[in-house]
Amino acid sequence: MPTVEISPDALRELTGHEAGDDELIDDLFALGLEFEGRTEDDEFELEFAPDRLDRLSVEGVARSLRYQYGDARGVYVPKTNSPEWTIEVDGEVPDDRPYVTGAVVRGVDLDDAALDSIIQLQEKLHATMGRGRAKGAIGIHDLTMLKGSDALSASAEATDGKPTVRYTGVSPDGDRFVPLDSDSELTPGEVLTEHPTGETYADLVGGDRYPAIYDDLGLFSFPPVINGRRTEVSTDSRDLFVELTGTDQWTIDKMCVIVCYALSARGGTLEEVTVEYAEDAGGEHAGRDLVRPDLSTDEKRLAHDRIESVLGIDLGPEEVIDLGERAGLDVSREGHEIEEPEELAYEVTIPPYRVDVLHPRDLIDDIGRAYGFNDLEPRYPDVSTVGGRHERSRLEAAVRTRLVGLGFEDMLTFHLTSEEATFEAMSISPDGEGFGAGAPPRIKETYSEEYTIVRTWLLPSLLSVLENNTHRAYPQDLSEVGFTARIDDAETTNVAESRHVAGLVARNDAAYEDAKARLQTVVRAFGADLETPPAEHPSFIDGRAAAVVVDGEEVGVVGEVHPEVIVAHDLEVPVAAFEFELSALE
Amino acid sequence: MELPHAQAAVLRAASAEDATPIDELAAETDLPPETVTGAAFELEERGLVVVLSREEESTTLTEEGDEYADRGLPEVRLYEAARGLDADPVPMGEAIGRAGLEGPEVDIALSNYARKGYGKIDSGTVTTDPDAVPDTDSEAMALDAITAGEAAPSDEVLDRLERRGLIERSERTERTVTLSDDGVTALMEGVESRETVGQLTPELLASGEWRDVEFGAYNVEADAERVDGGRLHVLRETGERVKDVLVGMGFEEMDGPHADADFWINDCLFMPQDHPARTHWDRFALEEPSEIDDLPEGLVSRVERAHREGVGPDGDGYHSPWDEGFARALALRGHTTSLTTRYLSGTEIGEIDPPARFFSVEKAYRNDTLDATHLLEFFQIEGWVMADSLSVRDLMGTFEEFYAQFGITDIEFKPHYNPYTEPSFELFGTHPTTGELIEIGNSGLFREEMLEPLGVECDVMAWGLALERLAMLTTGAEDIRDLHGTLADLDFLRNAEVSY
């Protein structure tokens, strides 16, 4: 789970509530932010669920707390001033990153803590909604360092003399700029190979054009990789220029809104920006002008009886409206004259920073949180059903009981293993004939060479347990009823999954007879007929191995394990073993 | 008089004049002391002997006590070393070096030094009290006395030595046997021993001879040979218990593929295709085979529409790409909720009508590194309830009932976020021994965007948790690898407490 670091002092300052740390931790838990511990700077480390991305900063958490404390009610939308700046989008923008958005924020009060908080918000938004900057990336710049004029604009008359920056493309070996945390001028291509941040995000750009943003003085941002040093934000910055680029306009617009709310909470005044997509620009807005940030609210209709049925409580309309407002929503009753409660409904206004409200159901959750879920009285649902186990699971349990009665220690080993353990250490080959052979399902990207396939049979797992327990007392009579799989075109998943029954006897005098005796007890206990015609199997000693034939069908193998296999598992004790398909006992 | 062999032997060995200790009788009769004791009490019941019991305390030196008796108590050695140096106060390091104190002895010396009034320890120096007389140190003298086997010193000193771990005190019962007058008479009249047999045999039973023989007493308290025998795996035991509870609560068990299409594992759960969990490397994608052959066509398009547009008149979709090829990719299921989506869709056992309860306790897979708290594969307990109308309160009531069966009460519900449930809760419970609040499950009411494409027109609530987590709670296991897997330690499994 991702975490966010929040200063409790800043929370107290921003909410105006002098809550003690413990009280604060409880209040945050109720918001769904779980206290994980403290950082070195004595900030709270909070685990957050990735729905309320507006709570990724102390400013956003404080806003939610103010609603929870009842100090704020209903939807709040900050005022915005009319646009002065324009972002022009031309046809040179790389096709895979067509969208841009932005905002100007003036008069921000940034101390070190506020600056850290804004940087953290940026990083957390990148990690979540921004999908590691691939879907959306944020750049924040010191506005006073930008120089925008019509000279830059291809169509001067269209911008009415307003300052302009241009979102375009740049060749990898094109214009040089000094990136953040660097002293030298680099081309975008050099940034990707020579700058640590560039190396990290190099995979996000490609081809012969990289995304770039220019002002009069030249390239100042290389999204989604890095900003230029010229426009770096510091605690002295008062006016900020925010730009976001990405693969989806809605996503970057929402990220932009969340950043704007946080900056507004730091005393900033929002100012709109005009985004001008040229006729030949990519994406779905070509030829259109957008005014951003998009602080428009959304409306959804919420039925009263659904609130009651999901929460399991009766509520009056005034209560619903009150709870909604405490959740930061505006709630108004639809048609006041309606008498029938089942027709009662509300029009709910959702603030623009909410990215998680996809359905009226999400609003019921908001109302439930405002009510306090832990205040609800649990009740056992008055619904009668008949329980029962799956037939396969009953059979497995019955076989295990029988095996345990014969003195076997029941094992529960991993389904994942390696070809080395499954085949080589057993002296068989996956494309060979014997029981256990077969093509195993193979894992794509593995961490460890020990876990690369799903096992095709169980005896290798049981032999591994023996190998890990040579220091433990013998006899070691082990059994398992467990999962196996192999590739099979006949199945729709192309994987045939089956359960096997395996048992082995490891003791100084273990012999074929010991395995066969136990095998036949198990098989006969299920009313099946067992034959053991001689068979060759490389895992077993020739002349001491047999096929397990149950009711006329060959379903397994039994024998004395071959010394080569025993030695390959670092064992010094004879082992006799059997394995067969569980389905043979059905 | 005819007596069992042991009683007859003890009677003959006992004396009317002297009280003979059991040990002596044992040596004389060549019987084990516990047999002699048993025989003595039986003889006492017949009125032939008098058994006297006396509690005796014995004191022995521990290894450490023995060493101090030999070399002197550390604090005494420190005092003497400090006195021997020509300064006061003396630098502590010098005094310690001279006293030859090492390791824990240093702390022991320092902590007892001031207590006994040998002087003061202050900021790295040692002062000595010229009036102290280490030769009369009561603890040192007591150690010497115990070594020499002399009379025990006062209880107070012994208590102190015991607290310092220098002595061990034990109590034992010393019993003596004296012949009574009746015993003397019986001996004079003559005592015969009855024959005893070691092993009851089929022959004794068949012939009826068992009626005339005496069975020799065994030392029934002696340790017996260890037998491990067969037993169910401890995690399986917990799993079976969970299944019992759920069946008892009216849940029916599900079964289905471990290797499955992402469609069933994620898309049907309204997980956007660019959700980090789906592209994250902890997903166990299959290299071979890589795709499922068939997906139900109508369902695929309904699921795609829900992802793109949402459901209902006011629904919104995700602003994420959706591709059927991605949905067809095979993986080892990251959760067993893929069984739930299959069952809800009607493709497994046909349409399911409310009310219904289903569960599974089956494996799920996570491509991660293996350590004491993380496994690549683990058992997920999955359960869901379908009814015409279900509320958050029903969900809470169901979980309270379930967890109460495992001794976990006072569950807390933390509002949470899952793409497929709303409202959603993480469930927290109090660890029975540490008192810590720990996460014990994840739950919620399935969203319309999940249920509508699957064709479900009523409410469904669901929850999941890892069986291993429950088992670690109930068995106290600290390394999850002992509980589950090929790296198992047989001794752990053999000695694990049975859970039921």
CATH number at residue B178: 1.10.10.10
B79 and B115 Cβ atoms separated by less than 8 Å: no
The distance of Cα A493 from the centroid of its chain, to the nearest Å, equals 25
Cβ neighbours for A173, distance < 8 A, ≥ 6 positions apart: A187, A188, A189
Q: Are strands B214-215 and B196-197 parallel, antiparallel or unpaired?
A: parallel
Contact flag B289-A441 (C-beta cutoff 8 Å):
yes
C-alpha closest to that of B324 among B348, B307, B345: B307
- C-alpha A64, offset from chain centre: 24
Residues B378 and B342 in one domain: yes
Residues 451-510 of A with CB under 8 A from B: 451, 454, 461, 464-465, 468-469, 472-473, 476-477, 479, 483, 485, 487, 492-495, 497
Q: Return the structure tokens found at A286.
A: 């070509």
Q: Do B377 and B488 share a domain, yes or no? A: yes
Helix (H) or strand (E) holding B285: strand B284-288
A336 shares contact with chain B (CB less than 8 Å): no
Please tell me the number of Cα atoms within 13 Å of A174 on its side-chain side: 15
b or e along B309-342 (b: 16 or more beta carbons within 10 Å of the residue's beta carbon)?
Answer: ebbbebbbbbbbebeeebbbbbbbbbbbbbbbbb
Q: In this structure, are residues B446 and B461 in contact, taking their beta carbons and an 8 Å threshold?
A: yes
Q: Identity (one letter) of the amino acid at A148?
A: G
Co-location of B204 and B282 in the same domain = no
Does B204 share its domain with B238? no
What is the side-by-side order of every strand in the sheet holding B252-253?
B252-253, B356-365, B377-387, B459-466, B437-446, B421-430, B412-418
Is B314 in contact with A362 (Cβ distance < 8 A)? no
Residue B180: per-residue pLDDT: 92
Task: Give the span between the Cα atoms of A284 and B76, in whole angstroms.
Answer: 91
Nearest-Cα residue of chain B relative to residue A299: B314
Residue B275 shares a structural domain with residue B372:
yes
Strands (E), A235-386: 240-246, 269-277, 289-292, 298-303, 330-333, 345-350
Residue A76, pLDDT score: 95
ipTM (interface pTM): 0.91
Helix extents (H) in B72-198? 74-84, 92-99, 104-113, 138-148, 155-163, 181-189
CATH of the domain at B474: 3.30.930.10
Burial of A502 (0-12, 13-18, 19+ CB in 10 A): buried
Q: Does residue B299 share a domain with residue B193?
A: no
Inter-axis angle of helices A317-326 and A360-371, to 10 degrees?
90
pLDDT of res. A160? 58
Beta bridge pairs of residue A138? A244
Q: Would you say residue B69 lies in a domain?
A: no
Task: Give the integer Cα–Cα distance in Å for B493 and B498.
Answer: 10
Structure tokens at B377: 């594969």
Would you call A469 and B289 a contact, using CB atoms and an 8 Å cutoff? no
Asked if residue B302 and residue B415 are part of one domain, the reply reads yes
Burial class (CB in 10 A: 0-12, 13-18, 19+), A267: middle
Tell whether B129 is covered by a domain: no
Residues in CB range of B224: below 8 A, 6 or more apart: none
Task: Spell out the residues 6+ positions from residue A3 whose beta carbon is closer than 8 angstroms to its own.
Answer: A36, A45, A46, A47, A48
User: Which of B154, B179, B211 corresponds to the end of one domain?
Assistant: B211
- Whose structure tokens read 């015969």? B192
Structure tokens at A327: 């959740």
CA distance B200 to chain A (A): 27
Does B331 share its domain with B196?
no
Which chain A residues contact residue B252 at CB under 8 A?
385-388
Give the number of other CB atoms < 10 A from CB of residue A21.
13
Cα separation, B452 vs B343, whole angstroms: 14
- Please list the ranges in chain B whose pLDDT falls under 70: 151-152, 280-281, 432-433, 475-476
Q: Is A200 helix (H, G, I), strand (E, B) or coil?
A: helix
Is residue B191 located within the same domain as residue B261? no
Q: Domains in chain B: how many in total?
A: 2
For position A337, what pLDDT does the model report? 65
- Quick check: A365 and A350 in contact, CB under 8 A? no
pLDDT at A156: 44
Alpha-carbon distance values, B388 to A5, A378, B425 (Å): 43, 18, 21
**So what's the pLDDT on residue B224?**
85
- In this structure, the answer to whether residues B293 and B399 fall within a common structural domain is yes
Q: Say which residue the tokens 């929503």 belong to.
A: A329
- The partner residues of A54 in beta bridges, in order of sequence, read none
Residue A295's contacts (CB-CB under 8 Å, 6 or more residues apart) are A77, A78, A80, A257, A260, A270, A352
Pair (B319, B200) in one structural domain: no
Residue B22 CB contacts under 8 Å (≥ 6 apart), including other chains: B33, B36, B37, B40, B174, B175, B176, B177
Q: Is residue B122 part of a domain?
A: no
Nearest Cα neighbor of B143 from B56, B84, B76, B83 is: B76
Q: Is residue B150 part of a domain?
A: no
In a domain, B111, yes or no: no
Residues of A in Cβ contact (< 8 Å) with B289: 441, 487, 493-495
Asked whether residue B103 is assigned to any structural domain, the reply reads no
Rounded to an integer, what distance in angstroms lies between the CA atom of residue A545 and that of residue A534? 6
Question: b/e for B99-127, b at 16 or more Cβ within 10 A?
Answer: bebeeebbebbbebbbebebbebeeebbb
Mutation target to probe the A interface, by most A beta carbons within 10 A, among B319, B460, B491 is B319
DSSP-assigned letter for residue A102: E
Give the pLDDT score at A157: 46
Q: Are residues B258 and B347 in the same domain?
A: yes
Nearest beta carbon to residue A412 from set B286, B314, B484: B484
State the number of CA atoms in the 13 A half-sphere of A303 facing the CB. 12
Quick one: what percent of chain B has pLDDT higher than 70?
98
Pick A451's closest partner by Cβ from B249, B376, B399.
B376
| B76 located within any domain | no
Structure-token pair, residue A429: 């080959």
**Relative orientation angle of helices A304-311 and B392-404, to the nearest 10 degrees:** 10
pLDDT of residue A417: 96
Burial class (CB in 10 A: 0-12, 13-18, 19+), A508: exposed
Q: Find the Cα–Cα–Cα–Cα dihedral A15, A20, A26, A28, rounded to 10°.
A: 30
In a domain, B315, yes or no: yes
Phi, psi of A272 (to 5 degrees): -70, 160
Please indicate if the annotation marks A362 as binding a ligand. yes
Show the tokens assigned to A486. 């192999």
Q: List chain A residues with pLDDT less than 50.
A: 151-159
The CA dihedral of B488, B492, B497, B500, to the nearest 10 degrees, is 10
Residues β-bridged to residue B20: B177
Q: Which residues form the domain of B323?
A: 234-495
Contacts of B243 in chain A (CB under 8 A): 389, 393
